[in-house]
Structures are given as C-alpha cells and as structure tokens.
Amino acid sequence: MPSTAFDSAIFRDAFGTPDMRAVFSDDALVARYVEVEVALARVQGRLGIIPPEAAAAIAASADPGKLDHAQLKTETDLVGYPIIGLVHQLQKQTGDAGRYLHWGATTQDIMDMATALQVRAALDLVGDDLQTLSNDLARLAEKHRATVMAGRTHLQHALPTTFGLKVAVWLSMIDRHRERLVQLRPRATMGQFGGAAGTLASLGDKGLLVHDALMKELGLATPAVPWHVARDGLAEAVCFLGLVTGTLGKIATDVMLMMQTEVAEVFEPFMPGRGASSTMPQKRNPISAELMVAIARSVRQDTGLMLDALAGSDHERATGPWHLEWIALPRAFIATAGALHQAKFLAGGLIVDAARMRKNLDMTGGLIVAEAVMMALAEKIGRGTAHDLVYAACRRSLDTGTLLLDQLAKEPKVTSAIDAASLARLVDPACYLGSADEMIARALASHARLA
C-alpha cells in the first residue's frame, strides 16, 4: 500500500509528476534491466562471443511484461539484488539460448546501466521543464521591464528596482541550470560494463570491444574505465537537482514574501478554492511556493545521501553505500519534477499588481531615493556635506511624516545647489533605476541564445 508522500494517491502529484514516476517505476526499471541484457546479447552475438542465433533468440523472446514480479521480489529478498532472479526468469523465457544471457557481466553492470538509462530519460523531462519555465520567466521579465518597485535588502526598502529585473535574476539562474544540464549529461549517463571486479577478465582480450559496442548499442556515454566505485556521475546529477530545486525555493520564497497581506505585490495564479483555508474564507495561501520550498529542502537531503554514497564506496565493490543511491536518486528526480511542475504553474500565470508595487514604493515618502539626492548634491558641495544634509532631511521626514522632497526644499544649501525641477526628478524612483533595463536586456539576450 502507498505509504509516503511520493506514492500516496492523495499527495503524490504535489511532490512529483506521473511522467517522472513512470521513469522510476518498478515496471520501467525491470524493463531497463531486460533492455540491457538483450543489448549485451546482441553485441556479443555480432562480435562472435556468443552464437548469433542465441543472441537473436534472446532478443526475440525476452519479455519484461511476462516477468513474475512476486517471484522477482522473493529472490531479491533472498539474494539482496534483483539480477539473479531476473536472469533465472529470462532463461526460462529464452530456452536453450538463455545459457548465453548475462555473459561476462556482473549484477552491478546491469543495474548501473539501467540507472543510466533512467537518468537519461529523467534528465530529458527536467530539461523540458526548465525550458518551459525559463520561457515563462523571460516573458515576465520583458513585460515588466518598466514596472518599478521597491528593492529590498535585509527585508527593508533599499533602492528602487523593477519587477522585470527581479524576474531576470530568477531567469538567469534557470538558464544557467540549462547550461549545466547540457554539460553534465555525458558524465551522468555513462554506461557501465566491467565484470566481476572491473577488469572484464572473463571476456579475455575482447572485453573492451564488448564494452564500447554495448555503450553504442544503448546510446550511453563511453567511460574510459568502469565506475562501479566511482559514483561522481550520478552524484553530480543529484547535486544538479539540488541546485535546481534550491533556485526554485529562492523564487518561491520571494513570491511568498510578496504575497503577504501587507505587501500584496504578486499572487499565484487564481483558481477557485486554491490556497483556501478550512476556517478563514479570505485566505489565499501560496500553495505552489510552499511545495517548492519543501521540495528544495527534501532534495538537499538526498544530495547529501548521494555524496555519502560517493565517499563510502570501498575498494572495487562497495559494501553498502551503493544502496543509498537506490533511495536518494529516484526520490530526488521525482521531487524535482514536482517542484518544476509547481514552478511552471506559478510563473505561467503569476498575477502582478504594479499599482500596489508603486504604492509600496511611495510609502516612505521618497526616502528610498535618498541616495539619488545625495549623489547629485555631492557633485556640487562634496560627498560628506551632502550626506549629512540629506541624512538630516531624512530624519525630519521620518519624524514628521512628511515627504523627503518637502524637507529638502526647506534646506537652502540644497535648493541653492539643485533647482526645484531637478530635485523633483531626483526623488522620483522611476528616475533612479541605474542599469536595470540594460541588465534585463542582457539576461534576455542570453536566454535567446539558449533557445
């Protein structure tokens, strides 16, 4: 019976997606095992290592759909690994040709190769989701290039920025992940064929011929040496997922903070009942963002497990760390797919309240652009004097609840250096955005090159 959030009929689509679960399902995994065994036989038949007719019979008769999973479980519980039980059943399916199954291979070869095939399919799904998400973020950044809002540091108003630039920062991270994905694919999808202790001794002088032909047959990257105990490729894949979900968690955190009642600058897409409270009819909770944050923390833990498996792989065959991957790798991919699903929903329909952004920007009466006034005044009277004058005006504005512009207009040393029209422009947040628009343009250009 389902017992975790990842397989629960209630929670599983909050923490995963059907497509990614299918990649790591028992049926898919066993089918990958069979795919590898058949590919090995085909290659060895072509190379004359096993009779070609036996290879053809194996390819024609091996059928993952006819395997008895209950029997496979029984033998797995006994042996500790599923491949011996799998081969027993395949031998019955393939008759006399079955004696040539698994020729020169070891259990970990088959299991690691199946994992590499799963990871390849899973990374395809992640790549598609990242592209969709980045396209949505690019559209948001373009749409809101001129939507002025308060930039915040330490959760306080700092200087004006634009919502477009905030989104461009999100976009830049996602696009870097897309680049990382291209770079890591060959390392994360290497084939594995080393035999009992990584030397392929049972195949004599034809070991590497089989090795390289098998990688080509399955479309996997060809490693120079076996990686039975060199687990960096799979660890890198899950570390990558940690980076992706960490970024999604950052985006979600920004959205949650901006959805606070007192801020109310953006909202997750509206759907009747979504984010509702069982007791408070007015509530509109940031459900997608909450799930993204939770998943980011979950995948971080799986990243740690993969690094433990990497560090603990002893001698030529690990005594237990390998099993950590069986737990962490599928879970990390499924969870990442869930986070990306939520992120696409969020970014694809994010509601942006530009008027509220402007209202929040103006709530300090112009104090957010005090730096702009100070820098302009410094050119006339020196930075130190300008800082002291503007600082004093800021304090009076805060103490009296008046506009900064009004306080500055009362200071002769200010008005003698800056005319009224220039002073009014200086306290307009829209006039103090620095290189924000050019930065957005750069992010969008970089995105376009990846498309």
Of 420, 363, 430, residue with least CA distance to 397:
363
User: What span, in angstroms and rounded, lies between the C-alpha atoms of 19 and 17?
Assistant: 5
Q: How far apart are the first and last CA of the chain?
A: 43
Give whole-number Cα distances, 142 to 118, 216, 358, 447, in Å.
Answer: 36, 43, 18, 12
Residues classed as catalytic: 154, 277
Give whole-number Cα distances, 80 to 84, 209, 328, in Å.
Answer: 10, 30, 18
Report the run of H or E that residue 153 belongs to, with start and end: strand 148-153
User: What span, in angstroms and rounded, lies between the C-alpha atoms of 258 and 269?
Assistant: 14
Of 338, 398, 353, residue with least CA distance to 259:
353
User: What span, in angstroms and rounded, lies between the C-alpha atoms of 310 and 321?
Assistant: 7
Token pair of 292 as six digits: 């993204």
Long-range contacts of 252-258 (CB under 8 A, 24+ apart): 252/286, 252/288, 252/289, 252/290, 252/292, 252/293, 252/296, 252/342, 252/343, 252/346, 253/289, 253/293, 254/166, 254/170, 255/286, 255/289, 255/346, 255/350, 256/286, 256/289, 256/290, 256/293, 257/155
User: What span, in angstroms and rounded, lies between the C-alpha atoms of 208 and 211?
Assistant: 5
Token pair 């001698």: residue: 315
Partnered with residue 157 across adjacent β-strands are 152
Query: How many Cα neighbours within 13 Å face the side chain of 441?
Result: 5
User: What span, in angstroms and rounded, lies between the C-alpha atoms of 345 and 330?
Assistant: 23
Helices then strands, each counted (H, E), the chain: 18, 4
User: What span, in angstroms and rounded, lies between the C-alpha atoms of 94 and 101?
Assistant: 9
Long-range contacts of 409-412 (CB under 8 A, 24+ apart): none
Whether 427 contacts 369, CB under 8 Å: yes
